[in-house]
Structure 1
């Protein structure tokens, strides 16, 4: 009828028209997770994508900080020679024990390499450019794919979640991370070239499951850098949902300049701009992962 407004309600009295999110599914609010009565052993999750610049490090930092805010004990592993995770949490990597020392056996105790951050409950094992030489040194080691798993086994009981920020490749370091992990989390930029590599990554996860780690699961695909104003972002997200269905998380992380600002400040977005929509999105993400059972 002419002049009738869309009120957001169905024509049946008392029934609300459901609101839909960017993934095309009805929007849900996930409840705050209940406090844990005890801690450990940790569930180990790799944040993995062979394409760079898709939000792996940003997600590791902010998901870790948010889970710590919900009372979880979180250990983040910087597994990228660029050391962006360490820098983004203002962690010292100069003359400090790093994950490289633990992989090569020059340091035996992982707890000696753990550094605390400004976020209570969030710790880091840092990395620096030395890690770029690790694949060359490890290639002749016996059971080289399981070295990280043996390192993390020594500290797993002290944490609820261990997040591994992988480098943008599918080399030996990433295989080590997948072999050590219970779950894989794929941040995916809403851009066509990022979409192309997901099938190869899922194939790699399947090979690791078949040959090295039968317990590994795909915990979810997280759409990042989403811009609802562009048709391209909307189409890429639609194609991902069509291809992977419920594996795509309902939470979507939008594109914002607040992320690089927070990185420069060496703080997670939840500290740097706690009322910003990006901080709220990562809180929603943490609650969704707890609701899915990916995190305790």
Structure 2
């Protein structure tokens, strides 16, 4: 099972939308996918319709080490895409984990529960520095950090998310090294060159930062993404063909390119995903 944590210390950069859409595409490609919602604002938990809803969620998983799938795993309307909901509305987990001896390592220690059942685990996180965010970082094989094409967002990335990775470096003494992080330029206006400038600036700024890279794929700011969320669909099903006269590629093409860049081992599977045919697989 490959574990990707979608992280940023800045809110509103598109972590939840990214997690939902990568998960939906991967499930349509035939992978067994689990979404874990660790955001106290449970947007990912309500993105997809849940025909089968489990009685527990991330609170019971992390506070009580609940390990029974029947208690934790919700089934979404997308075949092959499951979810552990966020149910920590009071934000108690951060306090609990802060004072627990294994707090930042708890999720990492619980992952063997899921490994036999899933190919891909996607963790959505809160847009602020927290113990939960640090825990997700230390549990992951790979970090994905969306960044909006703005200079202030790039500065916050360095102050917040990159500093978090540096602060976790001492865990290397336990044999736990923070995983590589890839940056995704998100919500790019199709007619703007600002994204290219920010992309180039990020590459220059991060040239001396080991383990951090900028993805070639960027996500355009198009209406298909909020439209898909409203319809409770992965965006590649909502827009599988580029509208006439628009420069930005179809959402299906963007998501296939993004997934292939993140997970080259499954590139052939992603290439076969066709939004026009996936309704039959619901």
Q: 2:203 pairs with 236, 241, 244, which one? A: 241
Secondary structure of 1:64's counterpart equals: helix
Per-residue CA deviation, residues 137-190 of structure 1 (Å, 9 max, x unaligned), is 232222111122223221122111111011101210001101111111111111
TM-score between both structures, scaled by the size of structure 1 = 0.77
Tell me if structure 2 keeps the 8 A contact 1:62–1:282: yes
Distance across 2 between alignment mates of 1:74 and 1:235: 34
Q: How far is 1:199 from its partner?
A: 1.6
Name the residue aligned to 2:247: none
Q: 2:71 pairs with 112, 116, 129, which one? A: 112
Secondary structure of 1:50's counterpart equals: coil
Q: How far is 1:264 from its partner?
A: 1.7
Name the residue aligned to 1:59: 18
Q: 1:285 pairs with 218, 233, 258, which one? A: 258
Distance across 1 between alignment mates of 2:51 and 2:10: 26
- 1:130-169 pair list within 5 angstroms: 130=89, 132-169=91-128
Q: Which deviates more, 166-175 or 145-154?
A: 145-154
For the structure 1 residues 228 and 270, does the alpha-carbon distance in structure 2 shift closer, same or farther, using more than 3 Å as the test? closer
Residue 260 (structure 1) aligned with residue 226 (structure 2): yes
Larger Rg: 1
Secondary structure of 1:149's counterpart equals: helix
Tell me if structure 2 keeps the 8 A contact 1:102–1:109: no
Distance across 1 between alignment mates of 2:58 and 2:45: 11
Q: Which deviates more, 145-154 or 247-256?
A: 145-154
Q: How far is 1:219 from its partner?
A: 4.1
Aligned residue pairs, count = 254
Long gaps (5+) in structure 2:
243-249, 270-282
Distance across 2 between alignment mates of 1:93 and 1:176: 28
Residue 188 (structure 1) aligned with residue 154 (structure 2): no
Q: 2:171 pairs with 211, 220, 244, which one? A: 211
For the structure 1 residues 228 and 267, does the alpha-carbon distance in structure 2 shift closer, same or farther, using more than 3 Å as the test? closer
Distance across 1 between alignment mates of 2:231 and 2:88: 21
Q: How much is the aligned-residue C-alpha RMSD, in angstroms?
A: 2.6
Long gaps (5+) in structure 1:
1-41
Residue 81 (structure 1) aligned with residue 81 (structure 2): no
Secondary structure of 2:22's counterpart equals: helix
Residue 225 (structure 1) aligned with residue 187 (structure 2): yes
Distance across 1 between alignment mates of 2:148 and 2:12: 8
Secondary structure of 2:91's counterpart equals: helix
Distance across 2 between alignment mates of 1:80 and 1:189: 19
Residue 273 (structure 1) aligned with residue 239 (structure 2): yes
Distance across 2 between alignment mates of 1:222 and 1:95: 32
